[in-house]
Structure 1
Amino acid sequence: MPLPRIARTRRGHVWGESWRLGVGFLFGLAIWGVVQAQLDQRGVDPTFGKDWLLVDLALGVGSTVLLLWRRRWPLAVALVTTVLSGVSSVSVGASLVALVSLSTRQRWREIAVVAVPWMLAGVSHSLVYPTEPEAITLPNIIIGLLTLAVGVSIGWAVGERRAFVASLHDRALTAEREQAMRVVQAQVAERARIAREMHDVLAHRISLVAMHSGALAYRTDLAPEQVAETAEIVRESANQALTELRAVLGVLRDVPGAGASEDGSPEAPQPTLGDLDALVAEARSGGATVLLDRAGDLDAVPEQVSRSAYRIVQEGLTNARKHAPGAAVRVTVSTAPERGLDDEAVQVTVRNAVPRGGTDAADGIRRAPTVGAGLGLLGLTERAVLAGGELTYGPDRAGDFVLTARLPWSR
């Protein structure tokens, strides 16, 4: 496809050069015919004889050909054609085109350099072609000044238009670059969002699978019923991880049918604070001791804020299960007035004791450490900041690990 586009550009360039050179040459021929008619009317010959009219025509053709280099050497071509117009009528058209082309550069010094020989060329032309009794007359001076002003004005206007078009082109290129940057930023943000959602959904379930499968690997004294029960928990956790993964992908893809299950029924919505009881019950089923305290009207929390708060609690329980297995966890979720504002905020606190190095879990099982990316808390911090809130985590003075988040919301 680019080849026809280049061909059209070349044809346009050839046409632009052709009509400019043609106009200049025809204008010079018209002046040449008028001058010859005036000489015949007066019954006089050019100063250099009748044969000079043919020389004039040849010089005019040469001046027209010189216009092909007016863009590479604008000042030199303008000076040469102006000097030739002093002895050649046909060259007047070419000199006018060269003056217009020079003026498009909008440089007053170059125009001033050409202005003096332009006026002298008018006097010289009157001497070579004595169409009037006197070579220097007021009408001739006025005509010379007017043609100079008209040529400069046209060229200056063309230069202004070209500068305007160039600025529009630069703006378009800048807009395209900015749009490309916005697209890249949007892609990066979307990837971060997908990574955050994937981590929030899968880390909790996979940690349960890892914990129970680790118990099966290390406990060889379990009864068949206990092995079957633990294997069932692993299977259910894996199935729930797949189900939640499909739900998250359906939300992220945002395409028809992506949020539907295999049987055509819609997938369950993303969990919120209303699902805390199920989350805590699931953690307790894995042997963890979880205490849940709630205060305030959690049902009034906006869905997006409620979903973020749920993910923070989920990640807190996951971290406690991975890094402090068997330790008691206290989860506190409440609503409180936002500091300095009329709005309210959701306060989330997840506290668990930090186990001492080398000690076994409370149930006597030494579990293998769960491999993780270590980015869960960083992702939660980013989520809280994007929601206009804040998240802090770390050990307190009592030696407990505390995760605290504050998410503002409006009614």
Structure 2
Amino acid sequence: MDDAMSAQGGGRSPLDGPRLSGPGAPPSGTQRLHAATQRVRAFDARRPLLWDVLLTAVVALPGFGQLVDGDARGRDPAGAAEPASMPLAWAVLAGLVLPLLWRRRYPFAVYLVISATLVVHDVYGLKISSLVAIGIALYNVALRQSLARLGWAFAVIAGTAAILVGVQGADDFWRDYTPVVAVAGCIAMTGVTARIRREFVASLVERAERLEVERDQRARLAAAAERARIAREMHDIVAHNLSVIVGLADGGAYAAARSPERPAQALTAISATGREALGELRRLLGVLRAPEQEALGQEALELAPQPGLAELEPLLDRVRAAGLPVVCTVRGEPAGLSEGRQLTVFRVVQEALTNTLKHAGPGARAEVDLTVDGGGVRVRVSDTGGGRTPAAPPDAGQGIHGMRERVAMYGGTLTARAADGGWRVRAEIPAAAAAEGEPAGRPEVRA
């Protein structure tokens, strides 16, 4: 058995044979044979040198016993029968079996040495019982060398036959060498078949490993996309609610000297806004905790949808409570939009109003204009600017970038620029038939 046939060691490959038909079914004869072959291959892969020594010893044993008993007959080159010279017989035995120790590293050289020794064996008419060595050498050439080198191996067979015909005559040539050529052909085909199987199994293993790498890459890309989505959601939630809380706190401090009831109202609004922000953050962070909890066997978390345009009015009420007057105009039927589009519009309005709260200053006013037409939607959020410099960017963070990414998911465009002393954010999302890469629906998070 050769180590090249066991490139996968003791592991199981797709060609390693059928499994048992059932958990309690006894193994068949072929399965037992296959299991024994696998164990031999695994041993060969772990200790190749030991296996080579054992194989060489097994091949040499019959000839060694024969020479020890003095049972080595032969003839001189002239044809006279006489007892073989023992030193010559021992030298021929060594030339037949010892090169097998290097059959893995130098298969063709080993084959040439054994072939030359075999010529000497036949010229002197020796009968040493270790001639299987030439078959093993030819098998290794077929297994490890190119087809061109295998052709040269058969040329060596033809050359040795010609030498023997020249020395011994051609009286019994066809009778003696036709079986030799047939056996050599079978050995070569066996080696080529084993080589093809080894290369095929190696290609299957390489393909499986490549698919595993691609699967891991897809998982990492999906995780990165999910982290980016969560980062956008957390930015929208935290920035908006903190801006509302800051506005309420400032307004409450300003009104404390005029009306004792106003600070209490501001604190109540701050508490409600903070609780809502915490609830949304828990839903988002639940996405990050979900794999760990499922791994521990805990129950799957319930799914909660993200906000849509139905939650737009409560959003405007919170902004108004923070001290920013907002006028909202809606044209068309927003309920006809997909859930993902509703979430995108909601986040654009939320981010734009958050920027107005943070940067517009006192005395600013905001206007939201929403138009739904034939599945497409246009939204415009503008403010009067208040004390803000029109040339200043409304958001130094990732807010506008995140809005632009959201709108681009549906094939839309978003512009944010100074206008009329303030800032204007305008988003246009085409109808579903005109948008490329339409997402399946509104994303959900675990709560």
Which TM-score bucket, shorter chain as reference? 0.7 to 0.9
Deviation at 1:292, TM superposition (A): 0.7
1:152 maps onto 2:188 in alignment: yes
Stretches of structure 1 that go unaligned for 5 or more consecutive residues are 261-266, 338-343, 360-368
Deviation at 1:143, TM superposition (A): 3.3
Partner of residue 370, structure 2: 333
- Structure 1 residues 358, 282: CA separation in 2 closer, same or farther (over 3 Å shift)? same
User: In the alignment, residue 134 of structure 2 is paired with which amino acid?
Assistant: S
Alignment partners' CA distance in 1, 2:246 and 2:93 = 94
TM-score by length of 1: 0.75
Partner of residue 222, structure 2: 186
Deviation at 1:115, TM superposition (A): 2.7
Per-residue CA deviations over 1:172-214 (Å, capped at 9, x if unaligned) read 2211211121121122112112212212222211111223334
Alpha-carbon contact 1:330-1:351 (below 8 Å) kept: yes
1:107 maps onto 2:146 in alignment: yes
In the alignment of these two chains, the number of paired residues is 375
Partner of residue 320, structure 1: 356
Alignment partners' CA distance in 1, 2:376 and 2:80 = 100
Partner of residue 345, structure 1: 376
Moved more, 234-243 or 272-281: 234-243
User: In the alignment, residue 366 of structure 2 is paired with which amino acid?
Assistant: V
Partner of residue 207, structure 2: 171
Alpha-carbon contact 1:82-1:95 (below 8 Å) kept: yes
1:11 maps onto 2:43 in alignment: yes
- Structure 1 residues 358, 160: CA separation in 2 closer, same or farther (over 3 Å shift)? closer
- Structure 1 residues 140, 67: CA separation in 2 closer, same or farther (over 3 Å shift)? same
Match of 1:79 among 112, 134, 146: 112
1:118 maps onto 2:154 in alignment: no
Alpha-carbon contact 1:24-1:93 (below 8 Å) kept: yes
Alpha-carbon contact 2:365-2:383 (below 8 Å) kept: yes
Alpha-carbon contact 1:24-1:96 (below 8 Å) kept: no
Deviation at 1:348, TM superposition (A): 2.0
Alignment partners' CA distance in 1, 2:63 and 2:190 = 18
TM-score by length of 2: 0.70
User: Secondary structure of the residue that 1:86 maps to in structure 2?
Assistant: helix
Alpha-carbon contact 1:346-1:409 (below 8 Å) kept: no
Match of 2:398 among 375, 385, 401: 375
User: Secondary structure of the residue that 1:354 maps to in structure 2?
Assistant: coil
User: In the alignment, residue 187 of structure 1 is paired with which amino acid?
Assistant: A
Stretches of structure 2 that go unaligned for 5 or more consecutive residues are 1-8, 12-38, 122-127, 434-440, 442-447
User: In the alignment, residue 114 of structure 1 is paired with which amino acid?
Assistant: A
Alignment partners' CA distance in 1, 2:257 and 2:208 = 73
Alignment partners' CA distance in 2, 1:179 and 1:47 = 74
User: In the alignment, residue 345 of structure 1 is paired with which amino acid?
Assistant: G
Deviation at 1:23, TM superposition (A): 7.7
User: Secondary structure of the residue that 2:282 maps to in structure 1?
Assistant: helix
Alpha-carbon contact 1:126-1:136 (below 8 Å) kept: no
Aligned-residue sequence identity (percent) comes to 29
Alpha-carbon contact 1:272-1:307 (below 8 Å) kept: yes
Alpha-carbon contact 2:383-2:422 (below 8 Å) kept: yes
Alignment partners' CA distance in 1, 2:405 and 2:80 = 91
Alignment partners' CA distance in 1, 2:165 and 2:258 = 122
1:50 maps onto 2:89 in alignment: no
Alpha-carbon contact 1:86-1:120 (below 8 Å) kept: no
Alpha-carbon contact 1:194-1:252 (below 8 Å) kept: no
